[in-house]
């Protein structure tokens, strides 16, 4: 009887131990899976507002990427860089001749693309591809280093290779002083490249604003056209807002200053999709009300600007510098 009890106890302990081990393995595996699912906060982008010259280079970029094993997921970023560097309108489309030790604009289009792709991919690999995939700010470091040179990657090491505007400014000042130059590189390079990138963000619930938004969503990706007021001519910022309202029987002029004057202010806490977000000094005098888009959420707006028609992040540093207020058309 005692032997039977001892055997039962031993078997029970074995089953219990096995249960604990299995659950431990499952918990560890689940934790790893959840961790892998939650580490990435890098946003995927679609290039927008590109010139026809840059769009025509897409296949040549893809071929150059394939040649060195660079993932195709970076194609839109490369096209945005190309748009910033040249708009596709010169032979050295990626302005990469100097990285080969040649004078500016002295290589062919094909050579420029191959070298530009190689430089950006080298920057990403220097930081670590997996680390760049995890964190958008590291991707921005790789892109800023395309303009500054690879030294910027080492310069950001103390910040885990995460880009900040302050690091870009201090790096530029340091090397301008070292070289005896008035300036070094483009401290606004990230803003200049990112204006051609549209975040692949799932739009939030826009409630009553949905019918008006639906009338202008088909134009997403179209280029900004100064003075444009309809689908035939294309749209500028005030034109697309005025046209959207007109499709629903609402008369609203297509001039930002008048649009500002005909609306009432609302606080950030009160803002809702369909309100109007205004900016000042994007051109003209610093206080001139120069830009308008539809407010969509606490980060997104929809309208037409230099990066084209679509969703834009109004929390971006450029827009924050020019933020004038959120207002509402009361009917």
User: All domains of the chain, ordered by start, with CATH?
Assistant: 45-194 (1.10.530.10), 201-328 (3.90.1720.10)
The CA distances from residue 40 to 37, 50, 190, in Å, are: 7, 27, 20
Paired tokens of 190: 């990230």
Query: Is the per-residue pLDDT at 206 higher than 70?
Result: no
CA-nearest of 43, 40, 76, 33 to 58 is 76
Paired tokens of 77: 């970023």
Measured over the CA atoms of residue 240, residue 299, residue 46 and residue 207, the dihedral's sign is negative
Paired tokens of 53: 């010259």
pLDDT at 136: 87
pLDDT tens digits, one per residue of 265-286: 999 999 999 999 999 999 999 9
Q: How confident is the model at residue 21 (pLDDT cuts 50, 70, 90)?
A: very low
Residue listed under structure tokens 């990706």: 221
Share of the chain above pLDDT 70, in %: 84
Mean pLDDT, the chain, integer: 86
Largest CA distance in the chain: 98
Alpha-carbon distance of 38 to 45, in angstroms, equals 19
State mean pLDDT over 232-237.
Answer: 94
Entry field: residues in the chain? 331
Q: How confident is the model at residue 204 (pLDDT cuts 50, 70, 90)?
A: low
| Range 236-266 burial, b when 16+ CB lie within 10 A, else e | bbbbbbbbbbeeeeeebebebeebbeebeeb
Alpha-carbon distance of 328 to 265, in angstroms, equals 6
Lowest mean pLDDT among 27-36, 144-153, 245-254: 27-36
Q: How confident is the model at residue 13 (pLDDT cuts 50, 70, 90)?
A: very low
Alpha-carbon distance of 65 to 59, in angstroms, equals 10
Q: Could you tell me how far CA 298 lies from the centroid of its own chain?
A: 16
198 against 77, higher pLDDT: 77
The pTM for the full model equals 0.56
pLDDT tens digits, one per residue of 33-77: 333 333 334 557 788 777 889 999 999 999 999 999 999 999 999
């Amino acid at each position: 009887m005692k032997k039977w009890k001892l055997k039962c106890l031993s078997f029970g302990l074995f089953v219990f131990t096995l249960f604990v081990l299995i659950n431990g393995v499952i918990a560890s595996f689940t934790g790893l899976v959840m961790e892998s699912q939650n580490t990435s906060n890098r946003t995927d982008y679609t290039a927008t507002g590109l010139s026809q010259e840059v769009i025509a280079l897409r296949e040549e970029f893809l071929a150059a990427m394939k040649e060195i094993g660079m993932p195709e997921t970076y194609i839109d970023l490369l096209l945005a860089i190309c748009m910033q560097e040249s708009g596709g309108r010169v032979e050295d489309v990626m302005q990469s001749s100097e990285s080969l030790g040649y004078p500016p604009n002295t290589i062919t289009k094909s050579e420029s693309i191959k070298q530009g792709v190689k430089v950006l991919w080298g920057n990403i690999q220097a930081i670590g591809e997996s680390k760049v995939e995890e964190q958008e700010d590291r991707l921005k470091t790789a892109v800023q280093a395309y303009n500054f040179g690879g030294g910027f990657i080492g310069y950001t090491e103390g910040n885990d290779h995460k880009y900040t505007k302050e690091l870009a400014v201090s790096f530029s000042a340091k090397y301008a002083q070292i070289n005896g130059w008035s300036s070094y590189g483009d401290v606004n390079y990230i803003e200049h490249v990112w204006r051609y990138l549209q975040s692949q963000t799932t739009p939030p619930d826009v409630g009553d604003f949905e019918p008006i938004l639906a009338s202008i969503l088909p134009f997403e990706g179209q280029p900004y056209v100064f003075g444009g007021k309809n689908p035939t001519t294309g749209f500028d910022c005030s034109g697309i807002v005025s046209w959207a309202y007109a499709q629903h029987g609402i008369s609203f002029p297509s001039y930002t200053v008048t649009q500002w004057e005909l609306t009432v202010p609302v606080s950030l806490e009160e803002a809702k999709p369909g309100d109007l977000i205004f900016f000042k000094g994007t051109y003209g005098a610093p206080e001139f009300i120069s830009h308008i888009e539809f407010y969509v959420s606490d980060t997104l707006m929809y309208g037409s600007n230099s990066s084209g028609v679509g969703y834009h992040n109004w929390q971006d540093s450029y827009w924050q510098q020019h933020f004038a207020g959120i207002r509402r058309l009361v009917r």
